[in-house]
Structure 1
Amino acid sequence: MSWWHWLWESEWHGILLGRWMVAVLLLVMGLGLAGLLASLLSRFFYLSLGKTQEDITRRELHRLMRPAWLFAILLAVLYSTLHVLEFFHLSTRWVDWIHRLFQALVLLALGLLGSRLLAVAETILASRYQQANEPYKLQLVHPLFTLGRILLFVLMGFLVLETTLKVNVGPFFTTLGLGGLAVALAAQETLQHFFGALAIFADKPFQLGETIRLENGTVGTIEKIGLRSTQIRTLDGLLLIIPNKRLADSPLENLTRTPRRRVLFRIGLLYNTPETTLQALKSELEESLGQLPFTIEKPLICLTNFQDSALELTVVTFVDPFYRAGNSSTPLSFLEIQDQIAERILRTVRRHQPQTDFAFPTRTLYIQKSSTGLDALSEVSRSGK
């Protein structure tokens, strides 16, 4: 008998030394080559994606899938090692529990693999929607896939209870259905906000980064659209958090999607303004405002009303809300546009002093002596000096 045959047939703790050597070899090779096998699996998976490779890199795919590959490989190595060692000749009861434990670990490995596959799909869809400039779909990707991963692990948890611990989960599902009904009734308002979010995602009245005006006149930029509420940053820098149901049911204006915006000013002029001065003022305002770089149409200047103390002149200017001055990367704000228009109006009107000026409320008292000798006061409201 050769020494090799003698060494192979010898026993240690009731197990052949040959089996011990095979077990050690499996462990060493498994631990040493696990990373390489994971890389090869990721490479084969990446090659199988075909055209989808444009939406995810091989390194990113390997980063997402590596935990699942390593867990599955190490689980297989550990089970193979125990099987070679004949489970250390443990009793049937202990061997049964070990098998149950590995069944649970296999289900966990499947859950982890499914979770990683969902992460890969999430990355691919997010890349596509970002390239297509579809922020509505992009912001739905993460919460929906997160919900999918949670449901997957819950399902695996029920399978572990059913197969490993032999727990009957049927009554639990019945209780869960009754509890779900109670929760649905209690969370009715939250569900309304959730369906409001679905209505916003479906109708797309606004997108991330767009500026809207609410029903109460508040103007702000959309920062985040959640499943329950929407966050809006106002011009004052305040963060408004509005429930989706309220936002979906109320009228609003999407200022970003408006190709032009109207700037309206109503000014009052003195009643003693000569007609020639009024016509000259209107012509100068039309020319001056038309020279502004963000004006996209001929301004409209009209005498629209006779107020108690002033001639009302209405100035209407249509502007480009996305105008960028010079090399600026951001457009002028609406307040900056209003400011430039107001300055032009102010300078133009003051150039026509003293023939005209901005009017302000005045009263002139006329004292008249009546036939009975008593003084009577009559008030006549008009534009005064």
Structure 2
Amino acid sequence: MNWREILAYEFLGNTVRDFLIFAGILLFGFIFKTVLSRLLSRILYKLVNRFTAGEDNQQAFKRLLIQPLEVLLFLVFMYFAFVALNYPLDPTEIRDGDHIIKAFAFRTYQVFVIVALTWVILRFVDFIGLIFKLRAEKTASKLDDQLVPFFKDFSKVLIVLFSFLAMLGLVFGVNVAGLVAGLGVGGLAIAFAAKESLENLLASFTIFLDQPFVVGDLVQVAELVGVVEKIGFRSTRIRTLEKSFVTLPNKFMIDKPLDNLTLRTFRRAKFDISLTYHTSSEQMRAITRDIQAFIDSHPRTNSDGRVRFLNLASHSKDVMVLYFVDTMDWNEYIDVKEEINYKIVEIVGRHGAAFAMPTQTLYLKRPSQNPPTTTLERPSYTRESDME
């Protein structure tokens, strides 16, 4: 038997040639799916090239799309591979009474194609969101910094919902129009079931319109203090001072008292200096006067600073130091505070005073050399016979 006869040999309604074509298409798709996905991503990038520029953006576009494009292309090659075979019935058509395995296999393939196509679209939306995020970072306003991730997530939710409805209609034959119309009847029940989600969504619009805070602000909500990193359509993410990442529902952000620390015009510093009781009144006056003069003349403080001899504690004379630093940046604030602290230590040392520490003095009384002795006298008894 020569190779022509082998290729013409029929098995399960198909020749060996048909099976080789089937395997060749699958092998070709598996080997070249990465190369083809890179080529296709390059073509798609040219379509959006007018919205962006730079090699970094092109690399980000490829990194986002290559993996979902590989899956989608392999599914396309799988389709052509199975079409190359001969079947008693067309496998791309599902009729009533068809074998359950055939119906399950074809519908599963359709589901995978819709999922892969949705994956590609979602990654494309991620890239568009990245471009607008980079543009928003170049503007002075912070409103666009929080609108970009919000609309990106909102668009992705709509795409997933549309893909799910398309899957129900195309794959499972559900009357999508009737289903959407039926939601009007069950809309009340769905609204109650999604009550928390709807409240958070409405709260997100309140945040965008009222703008109690924007991305990058340092806020305090209840006992939580941190920097706002992202405002989504359901939650707000905050990076705390301990560098932990906390996600709070948007409803919580507008229902609780919120202190936007970034909107403060100054940062306050207040502490006490404890000096020993050996410090004289002249030294106290000179120390408070010099500290007050230095704070008033400092370029990063305002004129509301107060330095006063305020308290006589059990172990020290306390001087209150109060001033306001003209900055919202935490690093600048602690740098100014450190500079003033060094100056305070220098002023106290220059006037011959010392800082007090909580101490206790215990006085012990030394006993005398010859302590008095105590003599115990025995009582005497008198008998009547002795008196006689």
TM-score past 0.5 threshold: yes
- Given the two structures, how large is their TM-score scaled by the length of structure 2? 0.61
Q: In the alignment, is residue 331 of structure 1 matched against residue 343 of structure 2?
A: no
1:38 aligns to 2:37 (yes or no)? yes
Matched AA of 1:222: V
Tell me what 2:113 maps to: 109
Task: Give the conservation status (yes or no) of the 8 Å contact 1:230–1:241.
Answer: yes
Residues 141 and 130 (structure 1 numbering): CA distance in 2 closer, same or farther, change over 3 Å? farther
Residues 1:140 and 2:150 aligned together:
yes
Rate the CA distance shift 1:53–1:159 in 2: closer, same or farther, 3 A.
Answer: farther
The 1:283–1:46 alpha-carbon spacing in structure 2 relative to 1, beyond 3 Å, is same
Deviation at 1:240, TM superposition (A): 7.8
Aligned pair count reads 332
Q: Whole-Å Cα distance in 2 between the matches of residues 315 and 228 of structure 1?
A: 41
Q: Distance in 1 between matches of 2:66 and 2:153?
A: 23
Q: Distance between the aligned counterparts of 1:91 and 1:251, measured in 2?
A: 65
How many Å separate the matches in 1 of 2:112 and 2:92?
Answer: 23
TM superposition shift of 1:288:
2.3
Question: 1:46-61 alignment to 2 at 5 Å?
Answer: 46-51=45-50, 52-54=52-54, 57-61=57-61
Does residue 181 of structure 2 align to residue 183 of structure 1? no
1:200 aligns with one of 207, 218, 221: 207
Tell me, yes or no, if structure 1 residue 220 matches structure 2 residue 225.
Answer: yes
Tell me, in whole angstroms, the C-alpha distance in 2 between the residues paired with 1:240 and 1:166: 43
Return closer, same or farther for 1:104/1:176 CA change in 2, 3 Å cut-off: farther
Q: Quote the RMSD (CA, aligned, Å).
A: 5.3
Residue number in structure 2 paired with 1:365: none
Give the superposition deviation at 1:295: 3.1
Please, what TM-score do these two structures have when normalized by structure 1? Answer: 0.61
Are 2:217 and 1:210 equivalent residues in the alignment? yes
Query: Which position in structure 2 is the counterpart of 1:290?
Result: 296
Q: Structure 2 matches for 1:79-158, cutoff 5 A?
A: 79-87=79-87, 89=88, 102=106, 105-106=109-110, 108-130=112-134, 132-133=136-137, 134=142, 135-137=145-147, 139-140=149-150, 143-158=153-168
CA contact (8 A) 1:206 1:254 kept: yes
Match of 2:260 in 1: 254
* Counterpart secondary structure, 1:205: coil
In structure 2, how many angstroms separate the alpha carbons of the residues matched to 1:250 and 1:30?
56
Aligned AA (2:39): L
Decide whether aligned partners of structure 1 residues 128 and 347 sit closer, same or farther in structure 2, where only a CA change above 3 A counts: same
Residues 173-192 of structure 1: per-residue CA shift (max 9 Å, x gap): 45544443223235545533
Is the Cα–Cα contact under 8 Å of residues 129 and 137 in structure 1 kept in the other structure?
no
Task: Tell whether the 8 Å contact from 1:38 to 1:70 is kept in structure 2 after alignment.
Answer: yes
Compare CA radii of gyration and give the structure with the larger one: 2
Q: CA deviation at 1:110?
A: 4.2
Sequence identity of aligned pairs in percent? 20
Gaps of 5+ in 2: 274-281, 309-318, 354-388
Structure 1 unaligned regions, length at least 5: 268-275, 304-312, 325-329, 354-385
